Amino acid sequence: MESKHSGLGIAAFVISLVAGIAIFAAIVVAGVMEASRPGGLDENSPEAVLLGLVLIALLFMDVVALGLGIAGLFQRERRKIFAILGTVFSGLTILGTVFLIVLGNMMA
């Protein structure tokens, strides 16, 4: 009998893809908002605060995906491909986003 895919791994994979795409879109929106205003975006404006909260929520989603992916790796007698992909995608998205935040703060 063939083993089934890990449900936790599938969840991690889907959540990591959705969160990764949404984080990319949020960063693009932030760049457009920054470039479209003379003098840049005021960091205390409601739009900037909302964008920051959305980014934090999406990063939290990615951390959840990372946890689900790691849990999926430890399931016995289940295929682990989606758990591996979910773990890798969410880990890379978290590291890339943190890198961009640190880089942005260093340039300011």
Indicate the domain borders of the chain.
4-107
Question: Which of 79, 105, 80, 56 is closest to 2 using CA atoms?
Answer: 79
Residue 6 DSSP label:
P
How does residue 41 score in pLDDT terms, banded at 50, 70 and 90? confident
Taking the model in full, what pTM does it have?
A: 0.89
pLDDT at 1: 62
pLDDT tens-digit map of 62-98: 999 999 999 999 999 899 999 999 999 999 999 999 9
Coil vs helix vs strand at 108: coil
